[in-house]
Amino acid sequence: MLVDYHLHTVFSRHATGSMEDYLDKVRRLGIEEVCFTEHTSRQYLPEEFCHQIPSAWMQENELSIYLEQLAAAAKTTSIRIKRGLEVDYFAGYEEPLGEFLDSLPLDFALGTVHFLPMYQMQYISLIEAEPTALLLQYLDYTKKAIESGLFDSLAHIHLGWQAVPWPKGEDGKAARDALGEVVAAALRQDMCLEVNTRAFNFEGYGTSQAYGRFLEMITDYGVPVTLGSDAHAPKDVGRNYSEALRTLKHYGILEVATFEKRKRQMVPIGDRLLKAAGTK
């Protein structure tokens, strides 16, 4: 089955395209199931913390409109549409976050770490700091997000090693151990990690070697994955799928997770899917 579990429309405030525009593209690609995952966080954080988030994200009063639009869109198409959100994790706010997620009719909660409080809430790739320290802080914070047990999957862990060059020598070993702890935490929590196909653009310091290291650990630990393009415009739906799916197969990852009312079901990635995904 062909799925894309990471899509942003205008609701996320820095993406373009309506749900209809996205579904048009989804239909043309032959993708059978999608999950919209708009950026939210203002909805669960106290006001004094909210204003520290440097990005606009979905405004508080838009969430109910978003959920209504999802329900309406689902009635117009045979594409299966899942209700998701991409929500920032911040240590110390687990309780309101849990209550927020429990109060919503969601299929999928995608956890995410974009901003690190110990670096003045800057976006990870904009932080100027000692590279190894930054990577280790990022991985440790990501592990905390996983251990909160609040999410179904954790988004784009590659942001860490895209922001800084993968360290060498002893530091490289420490980073590798820290990444191993992140993957082990996901296994303990019985949750997914995301294969975010934007990673295959190899932006910043991202490399196929670093991504391969991550996929190898996923295979070793047997952690389930979700698959998503992180599209911020309809043209990016299913981005890099050919390469990503070939790579997953190479690492023996033959299934991806789908969700309904936050219950996971694994579906096989077949050859048919590889052919259908001829998009870059």
Binding site for Zn ion (CB under 5 A): 86, 112, 155, 230
Give 32 or 86: the residue with its C-beta nearer to Zn ion.
86
Give 119 or 220: the residue with its C-beta nearer to Zn ion.
119
Give 145 or 155: the residue with its C-beta nearer to Zn ion.
155
Q: Could you give the 3-state DSSP secondary structure of residue 231? A: strand
Give 112 or 148: the residue with its C-beta nearer to Zn ion.
112
Q: Could you give the 3-state DSSP secondary structure of residue 193? A: strand
Q: How many CB atoms sit inside 10 A of residue 140's CB?
A: 14
Question: What's the min distance (Å) between Cβ of 159 and Zn ion?
Answer: 8
Which DSSP state fits 233? S
Residue nearest to Zn ion (CB): 230
Question: What's the min distance (Å) between Cβ of 232 and Zn ion?
Answer: 7
What distances in angstroms separate CA 89 from CA 50, 64, 213, 227, one per listed residue? 12, 21, 24, 20
CA-based R_g, the chain, Å = 18
Rounded Cα distance between 274 and 124, Å, is: 32
Question: What's the min distance (Å) between Cβ of 110 and Zn ion?
Answer: 8
Question: What's the min distance (Å) between Cβ of 6 and Zn ion?
Answer: 6
Place of tokens 């919503």: 104
